[in-house]
A and B are shown apart, each in its own frame.
Chain A
Amino acid sequence: MYEIRFHGRGGQGAVTASKILATAAFLESKWVTSFPFFGTERRGAPVTAFTRVDDKKIELRSQIYEPDAVIVLDKSLMSIVNVTDGLKSDGVIVVNGKSGNVREAGKYRVGYVDATSIALRNGLGDPSHPIVNTAILGAFAKVSNLVSLQSIKNATSDMVPSRKKENVNAIQEAYEETEMN
């Protein structure tokens, strides 16, 4: 079983990202679950979302405490949340930012991508509310081997209600621009 934890803020699309990633793995014939943990539901509040992927039906329904991968949609969260908490050694961490200060970065496979700029130049959201959830998945495809880039694009096309082409472009650009340590 492969477990992914998303850290974002309300309105950034972390919950949708967890669902798109689950759908991408489902398209590759995996069993999946994805679910959010809401604190108080409001724009800007920290949100956690989870995705599980396995070859067999998934029974475990608790939150994820020892993830194989962590995806951070908002770098500012890293000063208030220990995003690598429980992350397995050699686990994947993807951060929205050109660089960052991941604690004990040497233990992990780290990917940085400026998903905010990519989202904005593709017309996804506006400067105060960039929608970075699809771009960050392009970076995840680059750093991990969980699902193919194409499956993420396909799942995104299935799931986003509008701007399908722009979202798929953002995924491709993020994949190309991700810097790995």
Chain B
Amino acid sequence: MESIQSSRRIMTGNEAVATGVKLSNVKVISAYPITPQTTIVEKLAEMVANGELDAKYIEVESEHSAMASVTASEITGVRSYTASSSHGILYMHENLHWASGMRVPIVMSVVNRAIGPPWSIWGEQTETFNQRDTGWLQIYCESNQEAMDSIILGYKIAENKKVLLPVMNMLDAFTLSHTSEPVDVRNLKTSYDYLGDLDLDFKLDFKNPAGYGSLVAPDGPFMEMRKDMRDSMYNASGLIKSEISNFNEVFDAELPGLTENFMMEDADYALITAGAISSTAKYTVRKLRERGQKVGLIRLYFYRPFPGEEILKAVRGLKGLGVVERNVSYGQRGPTFEDVVSALYRRADVPIRNYVVGLGGRDIRVKDYEKMFENLIEGDNDMEWINVAVR
């Protein structure tokens, strides 16, 4: 208890992220500030300036350049980091493909913020659901503890030679980024030993010149390289699960698997959520359980690779499943809904509904989750917008 108390600190999600970067022995940071990510890079700049973190901080004029800088530094074999949000992520989009295509194991934090217009600085996850096809692994954090741990875990998984793909770590704007709560700060030496040094088989080396990302003709290995990326991501689930177990053992941590099943054992109805909005959902599930309702929650910790097998196992016996999206897609239902339906196709016989919540920072309350469960049990809409004025 003594040692736990002494390592436990009150910190914001952004402070937890910056501490996770320090614990990961990152050597290059390049970023462009944007609300609500700003305090991550401010803290890192301060750590570099006062010598707490022995890294190079590259100031850039845009997010596009930030991603170009960390891709370049990482390909020389140096562990690199960046962070952004909202329009910054959209501006990076081209270089997100460059990073994954060059197979550089970068970790990036994204503080999920709505996309304008109309202008909004508040929480929503659309900007990263928009990036699901860029070849980055995606993690959605529920707490500041996870925000710190997922940086360290992210490098470990990204740098695994069977993966070699970048990792995007999400935390909800304000709900985590600016929320202070207790976090167990991991031991620096344990973390350094756990990650070791970055060891790339292929890197830019002046003594052994080689080209990266150059022209490949249609009969060249272009399609083979794409298939290798797809396979590396698609087949990473087993490896991620065992790495999470290993992480939990090394750090005495409590990360979930690819998903977390909350009160699912005998559940009749369940919701699927991702990120910090899951916490209030859990609170609601507990409350409804006390009233005798058999409800549960499946939380996505990883979204890419998509944990379809975990969801298949969890939904057995359910009478209804609601997929909650804090993002918006036009002309089709939500991306998570499509993924869940695809994963369960012809393998599970459960009615699935789709809910859209919390866009532009709209607060998500217990009564909103109660309404979703109510709709799940009694309703007949395929898609429901929660807490939205009807015009």
Contacts and interface: CB of A to CB of B under 8 A. Distances in A.
Given A35-B175, A37-B174, A61 B280 contact: yes
Nearest to A63: B363
A59 B10 contact: no
A23 interface: yes
A149 interface: no
B178 A35 contact: yes
B280 A60 contact: yes
Contacts of B178: 35-36
Interface residues of A, number: 21
Interface stretch (A26-34, A90-98, A132-140, A166-174): A26-34
B37 to A, nearest CB: 14
A36 B174 contact: yes
A23 B9 CA distance: 9
Interface string A65-99: 10000000000000000000000000000000000
Given A36-B174, A37-B174, A62 B182 contact: no
Contacts of A32: 10, 180-182
A22 interface: yes
Contacts of A65: 365
Interface string B259-291: 000000000000000001101101100100000
Given A60-B366, A61-B276, A26 B283 contact: no
A65 B367 CA distance: 12
Given A22-B10, A35-B174, A59 B179 contact: no
A8 B288 CA distance: 35
Classify chain B: how many residues form its interface, as a range.
20 to 34
B53 interface: no
A153 interface: no
B176 to A, nearest CB: 9
B364 interface: yes
A23 B12 CA distance: 12
A34 B364 CA distance: 17
Contacts of B175: 35, 61
A59 B174 contact: no
Given A35-B174, A60-B283, 15 more contacts: A18-B180, A22-B180, A23-B10, A32-B182, A34-B179, A34-B180, A35-B175, A36-B174, A58-B181, A59-B282, A60-B280, A61-B179, A62-B364, A62-B366, A63-B363
Interface of B: 10, 35, 121, 174-175, 178-182, 276-277, 279-280, 282-283, 286, 363-366
19 contacts: A19-B10, A22-B181, A23-B10, A23-B180, A26-B10, A32-B180, A32-B182, A34-B179, A35-B175, A35-B179, A36-B174, A59-B279, A59-B280, A59-B283, A60-B279, A60-B280, A61-B279, A62-B364, A65-B365
